[in-house]
Amino acid sequence: MNCEVCQLKELEVESFEIREVLRCILHTIVFHRALGLIRPKDIDLELFEITYVQCGEIEVEKKIDEKIEQFINWIEKHPNKKSQICLSFYEVKSKQPSWFTNKIERLYWEQWYINLNVLQPAKPPVGKSHHSKLVMDPGEASEERSSRRTLLEQSLQEVLFQIIKFVNEKKDHVPPINDGVIYCPFEITIPSSSDSAFGMDMFKRILHSGHPSMLG
């Protein structure tokens, strides 16, 4: 089974917009992979005029919110950084226990990479002298902010269209629907404190999957 990878368009967000943007994207993806009996839930974003759909499962909501909180905490420690969040869907395969492998193997069949460029709000200069050119006019600042917000809203919509298009075009790799399973098991990987830990996560995933395409 192939592991399909989708790189979503990069979004420039401010720190207070992260939660809404990530919720929107992650839930939209999971909704398309929640193939069990669900009752969809429409959610309006508060910062944008966009409505997205949730699958309505509380566990999914909780899992996503937890990861978003972790990501926000990480962002606070690593400001002004481009970051990537990986949403991976996998199948659980039972395997014969051996010395080097676990009993349960995860076979990743789809990965989504959400690219965010978190912007920090420009702080006023601290010092005795205040240059006029450094101090922005409040009107200009609000205009710039609103234009940036409009652009972000359009970009977010494009990302959602991108998700729908990808989901439509590639369906063969989706594993069969199991009875009683509401949504395909997934995991969300966020950048960790150290790059080595992030690398370890990737290495673990490779070991679990054991698929040659993951090594490429």
Partner 1 sequence: MDFPENLPSDIGRLEQIVSHFFPKALHIVLNSRIPSLQSRGRSRERLSGLNVRKSDKWFNLVMGDRPAALEKLHSWHRNILDSMIIDIILVHPISTDDLDVDDDHHGDSTVRSAETVIERWVVQYENPLIMSPQSSESATGYQKVYKKSIILLRSLYAQTRLLPAYRVSRQLSSSLASSGYDLIYKVSSFSDIFSGPVTETMKEFRFAPVKVPPGRLCASVTYRSDLSDFNLGAHITLPPRIITDYVGSPATDPMRFFPSPGKSIEATSFIGRAGRPPLTGSSAERPHSWTSGFHRPPAQYPTPNQSFSPAHSHQFSPGLHDFHWSRTDAFGDNHQLSPPFSPSGSPSTPRYISGGNSPRINVRPGTAPVTIPSSATFNRYVSSNFSEPGRNPLPPFSPKSARRSPSSQDSLPGIALYRSSRSGESPSGLMNQYPAQKLSKDSKYDSGRFSGVLSSSDSPRFGFSRSPSRLSSQDDLDDPDCSCPFDFDDVDESGLQYSQSLDRRKTSSSISQSLPLGRRSSQDAAVGVLVHMLKTAPPLRQDSSTYMASMSGVQREGSVSGTESEFSMARSTSDALEELRNYKQLKDLLLSKSKSGSGATRVH
Q: Shortest CA distance to 188 belongs to which of 128, 112, 94, 132?
A: 112
Contact pattern for partner 1 over residues 144 through 173, marking x by CB under 8 A = -xx--xx------x--xx--x--xxx-x--
Token duo for residue 66 = 């937890």
Q: 């789809």: which residue's tokens?
A: 110
CA distance 156 to 150: 10
Interface segment toward partner 1; rule CB under 8 A; list 47-55, 67-75, 84-92, 203-211: 47-55
Binding segment (CB under 8 A) for partner 1, from list 5-13, 28-36, 74-82, 86-94: 28-36
Any contact of residue 19 with partner 1 (CB under 8 A)? Answer: no
Give the pair of three-digit tokens for residue 38: 């669900």
| CA–CA–CA angle 96, 102, 104 (5° rounding) | 75
For the bound state, the minimum distance from the C-beta of residue 55 to partner 1, rounded and expressed in Å, comes to: 9
**What is the Cα–Cα distance from 109 to 174, expressed in whole angstroms?**
7
Shortest Cβ distance from residue 50 to partner 1 (Å)?
7
Q: Are 28 and 53 in contact (CB under 8 A)?
A: yes
**Number of shown-chain residues binding partner 1 (CB under 8 A):** 43
| Tokens read off for 207 | 């070991």
Question: Is position 46 an interface residue for partner 1 (rule: CB under 8 A)?
Answer: yes
Pick from 2, 7, 9, 16: which binds partner 1 (CB under 8 A)? 16
Decide: is 72 part of the binding site for partner 1 (CB under 8 A). no
174 binds partner 1 (CB under 8 A): yes
HSE, side-chain direction, 13 A CA sphere, residue 88: 21
Residues 6+ apart with CB under 8 A from 96: 103
Does 119 participate in binding partner 1 (rule CB under 8 A)? no
The yes or no reply on residue 63 touching partner 1 (CB under 8 A) is no
Distance of CA 20 to the CA centre of its chain: 11
Q: Which is nearer to partner 1, 117 or 178 (CB)?
A: 178
Q: Which residues bind partner 1 (CB under 8 A)?
A: 14, 16, 28, 31-32, 34-53, 56, 145-146, 149-150, 157, 160-161, 164, 167-169, 171, 174, 176-179
